[in-house]
Amino acid sequence: MTPSWLDLSLPQEMIPFLSTGLEAQSKLLALAGNNDLSLSDVQLLAPISNPQKFLGVGLNYADHIAETGLDTPDFPTIFNKQSSCIIGPEKAIHRPRVSEKLDYEGELALVIGKQCRHVPKEKAAEVIAGYTIVNDVSVRDWQIKAPTWTLGKSFDTHGPMGPWIVTADEIDPHNLELKTWVNNQLRQHSNTSNLIFDCYQLVETLSTVCTLMPGDVIATGTCSGVGVKMKPRGYMKPGDRVTIEIEGIGKLSNPVIEEPDTQWC
């Protein structure tokens, strides 16, 4: 049900809403006032369901590089996640029929707030609308089938995002504690201060290449503790629940199930 106080002249989807700029955001905040909705009365969806670009960054934490045994990159490793993989909080992650090597990656993600190109690092904060959490779910054997990583990063349901966007003025993105649990076991624990290429550097690099658009999502990379590096391997399996918490943002939690049977069409 649409709240009675909501101005229906405002955009009803997130990307058009971000595109309108601060004026619409300020108007919505003023309208909301004390009319907050209880979380128990709403269903949270992915805050950005169909970004023009959904990009990920590999090998961007020193502790993760150490566990892989790889060299520290001199330049960001960028890959695509297809937007069709995005799901919201509490939606099920599917373990695909073609692989049991299903891994989690808890990540801070930034959301672009305005169309921009050639943004210097010193100005990057001005084009970021806010921050959210992404689980860069990865099918490890499919990831290594192709050097671009895209296939192994883009299976349906393998882009959990949420629980919401925290505006850029609310947090320091480069000093946030990050934790990932599988069931009750803490698997990842780091801080975004350990990013090799920080959020502003990533905006500068990417906007040098292409125009960034409102709603574009950039997941900034994961820290150590991924399942593929555990002994024995700590891959997710049906019946598991993966929960990612980032300080100042909240928790993103999703159950894991077997991929449902579907017919070719």
Number of domains in the chain: 2
At residue 119, the pLDDT reads 98
Q: Are residues 138 and 251 in the same domain?
A: yes
**For residue 71, pLDDT beyond 80:** yes
Residue 36 lies in domain: 1-42
Q: Are residues 20 and 75 in the same domain?
A: no
Q: Are residues 28 and 123 in the same domain?
A: no
pLDDT bracket for residue 265 (50, 70, 90): low
At residue 2, the pLDDT reads 59
Q: Are residues 7 and 69 in the same domain?
A: no
246-255 confidence digits (pLDDT tens): 999 999 999 9
Q: Are residues 92 and 19 in the same domain?
A: no
At residue 64, the pLDDT reads 87
* Comparison of pLDDT for 22 and 179, the residue scoring more: 179
At residue 69, the pLDDT reads 84
3-state SS, the chain, equals: CCCCCCCCCCCCCHHHHHHCCHHHHHHHHHHHCCCCCCHHHCCCCCCCCCCCCEEEEECCEHHHHHHHCCCCCCCCEEEECCHHHEECCCCCEEECCCCCCEECCEEEEEEECCCECCCCHHHHHHHEEEEEEEECCEEHHHHCCCCCCHHHHCCCCCEEEEEEEEECCCCCCCCCEEEEEECCEEEEEEEHHHECCCHHHHHHHHHHHCCECCCCEEECCCCCCCHHHCCCCCCCCCCCEEEEEECCCEEEEEEEEECCCCCCC
C-alpha–C-alpha distance, residues 91 and 158, integer Å = 10
Omega of the bond leading into 147 within 30 degrees of 0 (cis): no
At residue 264, the pLDDT reads 72
154-173 confidence digits (pLDDT tens): 999 999 999 999 999 999 99
Residue 82 in domain: yes
Mean pLDDT of 81-96: 98
* Comparison of pLDDT for 109 and 71, the residue scoring more: 109
Percent of the chain with pLDDT over 70: 95
At residue 9, the pLDDT reads 74
At residue 34, the pLDDT reads 64
At residue 7, the pLDDT reads 66
Q: Are residues 109 and 216 in the same domain?
A: yes
At residue 42, the pLDDT reads 86
pTM: 0.94
Q: Are residues 78 and 119 in the same domain?
A: yes
Residue 202 in domain: yes
Mean pLDDT of 114-135: 97
Residue 263 in domain: no
Q: Are residues 10 and 126 in the same domain?
A: no
22-49 confidence digits (pLDDT tens): 777 777 777 766 667 788 888 999 999 9
**For residue 6, pLDDT beyond 90:** no
**pLDDT, mean over the chain:** 93
